[in-house]
Copies of this chain bind each other. A is one copy, B any other.
Amino acid sequence: MTVREIKEKLKNADLKITPQRLAILEAIYKLNNHPTADNIIDYIKETHPSVAVGTVYKVLDALVENHLIKKVKTENNVTHYDGIIYNHHHLYCSESDRIEDYMDEELDELLEKYFSNKGIKNFNIEEIKLQINGRFKKRGGIKK
């Protein structure tokens, strides 16, 4: 994701292009493992030491509202953010509090087929997201 592309996204969303917004979006794309507001603040403090915490939250809210990023909820009550906006699923390990993306077109097709037959009464389905809870195996884990 280039700076040019990020600017384009902001423009398309009718959001003014500011250094803070660029830095925050860049941080989200670089830290592509569902950073929290805190992770983002730490990251941009190095290049933009004077960015205020309140601003980061305001910018994140604006980005979410304009569909440039998404909020991701986990079992503990800290909001994570996700720069990938097309539909995908999440693997979540509560032991390490780690979230990874999981994409599976075959699964999506299976689910679509299942629900287009069956439906849910009194409900119009727009999007189906799986949260797959479990444990990452050692080999893919974070070294201590």
> Which residues from chain A sit less than 8 Å from chain B, CB to CB?
71, 73-75, 77-79, 91, 93, 100, 102, 106-107, 110, 114, 118, 120-137, 139-140
25 contacting pairs across A/B (C-beta < 8 A): A73-B74, A73-B75, A73-B77, A77-B77, A77-B79, A91-B120, A91-B123, A102-B120, A110-B110, A122-B136, A122-B137, A123-B134, A123-B136, A123-B137, A123-B140, A124-B137, A125-B133, A126-B134, A127-B133, A128-B131, A128-B133, A129-B130, A129-B132, A129-B133, A131-B131
In the complex, which residues of chain B have a beta carbon less than 8 angstroms from the beta carbon of A79? 77
How far is it, in angstroms, between the C-alpha of A143 and the C-alpha of B127 when the chains are bound? 24
- Say whether chain A's binding surface is mostly helix, strand, loop, or mixed: strand
A15 → chain B closest CB, angstroms: 20
